[in-house]
Amino acid sequence: MGRLTTHVLDTSLGKPASGLKIEVWGKDLLKTIITNQDGRADQPLLEAEAFVVGHYELRFFAGDYLRGLGLGLAEPLFLDVIPIRFGISNAGQHYHVPLLLSPFGYSTYRGS
């Protein structure tokens, strides 16, 4: 069974980014979650009949997370909402979209 998962790591602190809001979008807003202590969602973002072939976007609310750390970063922050757009071509596979985050940059990839 296919599913969509994510994991957010704060590379500036060397730990998971807990308490970070993520929105899951297809054509419309599908779900909003807050990352747990491990920087993950407690359940897959999408699975079963909700996980279909198509285009998706994850919106990571990095600005809110970074402000909450109390690091005294200058406003406006360099990063605020990070959109990652991607396609699902096989709804029977596992798609893992992690985010490696710092106040001044990020990276992502299709993980396993």
For 18-59, the pLDDT digits (tens) are 999 999 999 999 999 999 999 999 999 999 999 999 999 999
The total domain count for the chain is: 1
* CA–CA dist 16, 31 (Å, integer): 21
For 78-110, the pLDDT digits (tens) are 999 999 999 999 999 999 999 999 999 999 999
* CA–CA dist 5, 2 (Å, integer): 10
CA distance readout (Å), 70 to 18, 34, 50, 65, 74 = 14, 19, 37, 10, 11
Output the six-digit token pair for 2: 């296919």
Q: Long-range pairs for 68-77 at CB < 8 Å and ≥24 separation?
A: 68/19, 69/13, 71/103, 73/103, 77/103
Is the pLDDT assigned to residue 70 strictly greater than 90?
A: yes
Residue span of the structural domain in which 31 resides: 3-108
CATH number, domain containing residue 80: 2.60.40.180
- Three-state SS for 94? strand
Is the entire prediction scored with pTM above 0.95?
yes
